[in-house]
Structure 1
């Protein structure tokens, strides 16, 4: 019986012993423009609602604010006051020096659009805060002793708004560049600054909450601009 000719290597099935092709990584889905717009409206509406509801000094919102302030006053300790004062200063004039480091880092790595977004974001947040204060014209808390000096009206919290514009924007930029841990720390610092304003007795809790809501609109805008100026690799 004649032997069959050996199978030629080229006659092997195409997938036999061949490595499987790599599956292309899909970028994370981006929020649609409609979703972003809805979130922005909700956040802005929340900030406006808090401003309106918090204005009456004998209203339910203010009574809740005062209750929180008095509860926080009861946990004051010298060492904690020192820590809170140092933390709150990072969203004051010192924010310029703090932001210089990430701005220079972004410029050095050739990411000038992100550096510009960071600088402009902090400036816009501070400008919005200063413009909104006389419109709401809410008096500062007088139910507890303030531990630091504060000027202008109470709503919104200028330090919290500045923290959102600086550290919040930085968190957005870091997250889109794969630095999740640093982004989380930066975002957490925004909340820390907000807490310091209540602890130090210079802002009502709703001042801080309204600032976070209004600042959230800024973060949404920054995220969309960053996607256009420096899109993530596919």
Structure 2
């Protein structure tokens, strides 16, 4: 997939997320979502509830904000500067888009009678927890290389799915909210990766922190003639 295709694909997913947000407020879809939440309610037990609360805690917006700061700093210090910027833009961008969508869509939470825990805000779409979990999963896929990539990526996907299930199980989100969160993280990640894969931007980032002598030798090795003035 080319850089342009990634960016366009990401933007299309964000548009789809917006349309899903509009549909989420329709009475027909709301009735379906409430029925799905009601079907999950009889499954609740002490162990599942404890696990769901734990998943909620580790995927809250504050955790996403910490990841958006700590991971890029760590990557920058080990000279993975492009990856540091990707991590920053992916996490911060996902949080920002999810917050903006919440305000604009302003979908109400499921009925209070379904809540196991009180929601952290009154807007339901998209799920901020699902957004954070999906963004972390995608970040792991992008950052981890080698033999561990499949294992870590699989764990990331299971984490994202588990958090999405937990939010619906706890009665504070509709399934459509979780889907919206996944679309936010996936759309933003495609736009970010596509942008930072643009050849001119990628070359510019690779030159950041490279000594001038190193760039001079690289230019000579590639046949570039440096004009003296």
TM range (shorter): 0.7 to 0.9
Structure 1: any 5+ residue segments left out of the alignment?
Answer: 1-30
1:195 corresponds to: 165
1:111 corresponds to: 80
Structure having the larger proportion of residues in helix: 2
RMSD of aligned alpha carbons: 2.7
Q: Between the two structures, name the one with larger relative contact order (CA 8 Å, sep ≥ 6).
A: 2
Following superposition, the deviation at residue 177 of structure 1 comes to: 9.3
Alpha-carbon contact 1:175-1:183 (below 8 Å) kept: no
1:214 corresponds to: 184
Superposition map of 1:1-234 within 5 A: 31-56=1-26, 58-59=27-28, 61-92=29-60, 93-96=62-65, 102-103=71-72, 106-107=75-76, 109-142=78-111, 144-150=113-119, 151-174=121-144, 179-228=149-198, 229=202
Alpha-carbon contact 2:67-2:91 (below 8 Å) kept: no
Q: Comparing 184-193 with 128-137, which one deviates more in the overlay? A: 184-193
C-alpha separation in 2, matches of 1:105 and 1:219:
20
C-alpha separation in 2, matches of 1:120 and 1:40:
14
From the CA coordinates, give the structure whose radius of gyration is larger.
Answer: 1
Residues 222 and 174 of structure 1, relative CA distance in 2, 3 Å threshold = farther
C-alpha separation in 2, matches of 1:114 and 1:199:
35
Residues 135 and 113 of structure 1, relative CA distance in 2, 3 Å threshold = same
C-alpha separation in 1, matches of 2:110 and 2:45:
20
Q: Comparing 191-200 with 143-152, which one deviates more in the overlay? A: 143-152
Following superposition, the deviation at residue 80 of structure 1 comes to: 0.7
1:3 corresponds to: none
Alpha-carbon contact 1:171-1:187 (below 8 Å) kept: no
Count, aligned residues: 199
Calculate the TM-score normalised by the size of structure 2. 0.74
